[in-house]
């Protein structure tokens, strides 16, 4: 369990004081993947560095598994950091060391005997899918392989918490998906708590259980990922969700369809089991309404599927349309009117 209480981080300069993290309060449950998202300058990377005291807070508390990080002695803080490990955006590998030597490095610092350290490192090489690359140097690896080394190295001291600071932002989309799948696998096998810092909502959607959205150092929204996607409360969150779902028709609607009197263009939003229901067939056959599909998509979260459908309904009187909305909402489908002729 990670408890963050009234956490503040201020930087003083000659001209002004900057508050990078502004009275943040969060609870992150053990064994979960928790995402923190925000645009550049939101304070998310500073926040994650406060969790293992790579940055010391100006005020507030970070409590991990019952231990207040700010109350630990230097010796105990170093030991605690071994259990709160970090994966970096640009890998931070030692270029003069091989894959195996990079993974063994934190074990050497921790005083683990070389034979035991090597055995543990070889197990981690297998875990992250780098068999055959043990003796390769970082310059011989792809970006995804380098990040796999970084993840293996972060796991060397068998942490309970893994902090990932923009761990996929330097990777191409396919490699990003592979690294995200690896993190999910590791979380399940090692019962880890993972905190992911990102500016990409698709990362949050694909693997996170919960999310906090940051702006100007503050957490402006947080909650279950599926719920946040389904009903974002703040403009920043809505921008992230819209960019990921791409849930609108490109260009003016009039380019797609001729809107006449009593016509409607609506967006249907589905979550969970509703995404697999034959909604269009239900509308046309049961409700006897003709449907023109303009746009559709389904995305997947850790809590289930999330989808949308933008459709055109022709020549529908007000009573019939009200009954139509009521019927669909009873089936767990949200209805939003985009255009009414």
Calpha distance 211→31 (Å, rounded): 14
E-strand stretches of 1-43: 2-12, 17-28, 33-37
Domains of the chain in sequence order: 2-243 (3.40.50.300), 253-340 (3.30.70.260)
Percent residues over pLDDT 90 in the chain: 55
Q: Is the pLDDT reported for residue 141 higher than 90?
A: yes
Residue 83's contacts (CB-CB under 8 Å, 6 or more residues apart) are 157, 158, 159, 160, 161
Confidence of residue 7 (pLDDT cuts 50, 70, 90): very high
Average pLDDT over residues 96-108: 95
Higher-confidence residue: 256 or 27? Answer: 27
pLDDT at 242: 77
pLDDT at 273: 56
Q: Is the pLDDT reported for residue 106 higher than 90?
A: yes
CB crowding 11-34: b at 16 or more within 10 Å, else e:
eeeeeeeebbbbebebebeeebbb
Calpha distance 324→320 (Å, rounded): 6
pLDDT at 260: 79
Q: Is the pLDDT reported for residue 60 higher than 70?
A: yes
């Amino acid at each position: 369990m990670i408890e963050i209480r009234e956490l503040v981080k201020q930087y003083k300069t000659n001209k002004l004081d900057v508050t990078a993290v502004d009275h943040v309060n969060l609870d992150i449950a053990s064994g979960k993947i928790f995402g923190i998202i925000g645009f550049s300058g939101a304070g998310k990377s500073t926040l994650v560095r406060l969790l293992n005291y790579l940055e010391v807070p100006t005020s507030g508390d970070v409590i991990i598994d019952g231990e207040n990080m700010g109350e630990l002695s230097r010796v105990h803080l170093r030991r605690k950091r071994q259990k709160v490990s970090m994966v970096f955006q640009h890998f931070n590998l030692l270029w003069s060391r091989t894959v195996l030597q990079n993974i063994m490095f934190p074990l050497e610092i921790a005083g683990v005997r070389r034979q035991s350290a090597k055995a543990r490192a070889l197990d981690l090489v297998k875990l992250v899918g780098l068999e055959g690359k043990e003796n390769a140097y970082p310059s011989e690896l792809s970006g995804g392989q380098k990040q796999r080394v970084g993840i293996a190295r972060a796991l060397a001291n068998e942490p309970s918490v893994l902090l990932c600071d923009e761990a996929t932002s330097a990777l191409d989309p396919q490699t990003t998906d592979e690294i995200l799948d690896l993190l999910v696998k590791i979380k399940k096998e090692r019962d880890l708590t993972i905190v992911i810092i990102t500016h990409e909502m698709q990362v949050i959607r694909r693997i996170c259980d919960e999310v906090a959205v940051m702006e100007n150092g503050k957490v402006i929204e947080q909650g279950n990922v599926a719920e946040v996607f389904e009903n974002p409360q703040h403009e920043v969150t809505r921008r992230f969700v819209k960019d990921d779902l791409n849930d609108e028709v490109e260009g003016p609607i009039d380019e797609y369809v001729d809107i006449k009197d009593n016509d409607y263009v609506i967006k249907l939003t589905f979550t969970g089991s509703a995404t697999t229901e034959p909604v269009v067939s239900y509308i046309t056959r049961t409700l006897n309404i003709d449907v023109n599909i303009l746009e559709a998509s389904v995305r997947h979260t850790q809590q289930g599927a999330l989808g949308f459908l933008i459709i055109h309904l022709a020549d529908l009187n007000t009573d019939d349309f009200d009954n139509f909305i009521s019927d669909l909402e009873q089936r767990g489908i949200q209805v939003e009117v985009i255009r009414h002729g």
